[in-house]
Amino acid sequence: MTERISKSAQKRRFKDEENAAAELALLSDKDLKKLAISQVVKDEIIRCRGQKGGALKRQIKYLAKLMREDSVDEIFDFLTERKGSKVKETKLHREVERLRDVLINEAISVQQECLQEGLIFEPDWQGEEIDSFARRFPVDEGDLRRTVFQYVKTRLHNHNREVFRIVKAAVDKQEILRKIDTANLE
């Protein structure tokens, strides 16, 4: 999907990564050994332990920057499994909301184009973003198109929630498949 990520969304993403870095700073040596990340990141986690106040905040921001260079998903998975962290859940929820909004905004623009050209907006409307979403995630494309179409036509909140549920189910399914693939590789 080729949509532009807003500055606010980028800030929220960075804030989530900083929260994960703060949780990493609290890990014990035993948990730190189990975490499969680069030694540079582990060293920065250890440096965070002796810091207080503003120095700790700066160190956590630097740690989050280093985490972005590695795989942040592995760190989120570790924190979720070992510590019950909600950071990954929050990140996925925001991603689902963003994807839903992208799909709905695309459908609204297609509807506006149809109105301008004097065409009828059909339930099987075509769009670049929805095609990209269907290729990227395991989803019933026809059901998704019809539900987005229903929301655009009626603007009922129930249809908006249903689009969210469909997108969330697709994202969750892809996440489960990713975990199965990584487990098979190990």
Domain residue ranges in the chain = 7-82, 90-185
Residue type, 183: A
Contact present, 44 and 91 (Cβ < 8 Å): no
Nearest 5°: the CA angle 150, 170, 76 is: 135
- What pTM value is reported for the model? 0.72
pLDDT 10s digits, 55-97: 889 999 998 888 888 777 788 878 888 777 777 788 888 889 9
Residue type, 103: L
Q: Which of 24, 137, 15, 37 is nearest to 80 (CA)?
A: 24
Check residue 148 and give its pLDDT: 95
Check residue 109 and give its pLDDT: 94
The one-digit pLDDT tens for each residue of the chain (186 residues) are: 555 677 887 888 888 888 888 888 888 888 888 887 888 888 888 888 888 888 889 999 998 888 888 777 788 878 888 777 777 788 888 889 989 999 999 999 999 999 999 999 998 888 899 999 999 998 999 999 999 999 999 999 999 999 999 999 999 999 888 888 877 776
CATH number of 7-82: 1.10.60
Whole-angstrom Cα distance, residue 100 to residue 106? Answer: 10
Check residue 2 and give its pLDDT: 52
Q: How buried is residue 34: exposed, middle or buried, by Cβ count under 10 Å (0-12/13-18/19+)?
A: exposed
Check residue 3 and give its pLDDT: 56
